């Protein structure tokens, strides 16, 4: 009985905000990118819920975040900025490593899991009916971070697009059948959370 461990998990809520750097390409089979965006900066923010087993250090980290992303659309005649706004719901498995002596001050952690992205606003109609955003896309996140003083978490993650975020539609003299490669969001997200 002296070795009994608490069966309760620790549930915490908080606020989360940060930046995202996204990379999105929608390219022709033989060259020309219709959408070519590397390291375009956007922002994100929302709420976080963390459930962690007190002894194992294993838990779940789920968030509801607003995310703004921008991309560069290049047609034969001009170049436009695409603006996309999402509600993102990442659900990550989280493992916290408790270090001897400094474990109360700093805890490194690792995360991985799916992220569901719901498109809520875009400016595709303002720049012509060349591409459309998909109403929902999915990515897989892998990340790492540190927790300071059991309250503040700084986290960096990389999202790998599993489904396309964009699709082409036919208009004018642009042969959209040639634009088949890419269309998946890949992005870095760096956030700070207070729990």
pLDDT tens digit sequence for 14-44: 999 999 888 776 655 545 555 556 567 889 9
Please check the confidence at residue 49 and state whether its pLDDT lies above 50: yes
Q: How would you write 52-71 as a 3-class SS string?
A: ECCCCCEEEEEEEEEEEEEE
Point out the least confidently predicted range of 73-77, 80-84, 157-161: 73-77
The three-state secondary structure class of 195 is: coil
Q: What is the pTM of this model?
A: 0.80
pLDDT band at 71 (very low <50, low <70, confident <90, very high): confident
pLDDT attached to residue 176 = 47
Reported as type and span, the H/E element at residue 166 is strand 166-168
Point out the least confidently predicted range of 7-11, 71-75, 173-177: 173-177
Please check the confidence at residue 126 and state whether its pLDDT lies above 70: no
Please provide the average confidence, as pLDDT, over all residues in the chain: 81
- Residues 6 or more apart in contact with residue 118 via CB below 8 angstroms: 86, 87, 88, 89, 135, 136
Report the alpha-carbon angle 34-122-17, nearest 5: 105
């Amino acid at each position: 009985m002296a070795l009994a461990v608490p069966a309760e998990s620790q549930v915490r809520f908080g606020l989360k905000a940060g930046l995202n750097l996204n990379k999105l390409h929608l390219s022709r089979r033989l060259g020309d990118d219709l959408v070519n965006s590397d390291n375009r900066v956007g922002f994100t923010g929302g709420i976080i819920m963390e459930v962690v087993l007190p002894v194992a250090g294993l838990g779940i980290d789920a968030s509801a975040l607003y995310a703004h992303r921008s991309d560069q659309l290049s047609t034969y005649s001009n170049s436009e900025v695409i603006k996309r706004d999402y509600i993102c719901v990442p659900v990550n498995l989280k493992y916290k490593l408790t270090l001897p002596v400094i474990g109360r001050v700093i805890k490194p952690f690792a995360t991985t899991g799916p992220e569901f992205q719901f498109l809520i606003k875009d400016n595709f109609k303002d720049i012509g009916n060349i591409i459309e955003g998909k109403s929902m896309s999915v990515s897989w996140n892998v990340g790492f971070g540190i927790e300071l003083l059991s309250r503040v978490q700084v986290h960096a993650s990389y999202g790998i697009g599993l489904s396309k975020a964009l699709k082409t539609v036919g208009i004018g003299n642009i042969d959209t059948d040639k634009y088949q490669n890419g269309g998946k969001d890949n992005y870095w997200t760096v956030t700070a959370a207070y729990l």
